[in-house]
Amino acid sequence: MQTDSSAVVDPRVLRTHRDVVRSTAELLVAGGWDAVTHAEVARRSGYSKATVYAHWPTRLDLIRASIERICDEADHPPATGDLRADLRAALSDFANDLAEGRLDRLLAGVVEHADDGQAVADLRLRLYDTGTRGLRAILTTHLAAADVEPVLVLLTGGVLVHVSYAGATATPAFIDDLIDRVVGSPR
């Protein structure tokens, strides 16, 4: 919702936006993009379809608002300065988000709808930037700039494939082995 910073927004409008976006985010995470319809969002949020359509004319508008909310609320484990411990914590958090937070459904949606235009491409980048922010900060502190992106891709890709595609659990042993293979064994 974009407003003039000097304009006062009716609290009812703010509540409607909060409730609808929260309901959409829950629906999106639980059922993926195809589960998000104006009718289902209206039912879950307790508002009329007309109200939902008035503020979010398209399904993509609903999905965009919910992904923005999800990204805005995302947090990452705090860095301690210990490369291996920080990577272990960040990758475990990422694996948990994939396995239990249904991040894989959000990622699958932006991949599946990649041909739907720039708005979806922007959402894909937003999810990637948000999801890798903590890892990127850790790697930037410890690696040469040219090494950050390749190492980031190898680490996140390894966890993504292991959890989302292979359906396996990212155990501490798996994560430690992945870190050793990508950044080297501890000295």
Identify whether residues 66 and 100 lie together within a single domain: no
Q: No. of H helices and E strands in the chain?
A: 9, 0
Q: Give the pLDDT confidence score for residue 154 in this predicted structure.
A: 97
Predicted confidence (pLDDT) at residue 60 exceeds the cutoff of 60: yes
Instruction: Calculate mean pLDDT across residues 116-137.
Output: 90
Identify whether residues 66 and 82 lie together within a single domain: no
Local confidence band at 187 (pLDDT 50, 70, 90 cut-offs): low
Identify whether residues 41 and 101 lie together within a single domain: no
> Is 172 a domain residue?
yes
Straight-line distance from the first to the last Cα atom of the chain, in angstroms, rounded to the nearest whole number = 51
Residue 90 lies in domain: 77-183
Local confidence band at 5 (pLDDT 50, 70, 90 cut-offs): low
DSSP state at residue 161:
I
What's the domain count of the chain?
2
Exposure string of 145-157, with b = 16+ CB inside 10 Å and e = fewer, is eeebeebbeebbe
Predicted confidence (pLDDT) at residue 27 exceeds the cutoff of 60: yes
Q: Give the pLDDT confidence score for residue 13 in this predicted structure.
A: 86
Cα separation, 23 vs 46, whole angstroms: 9
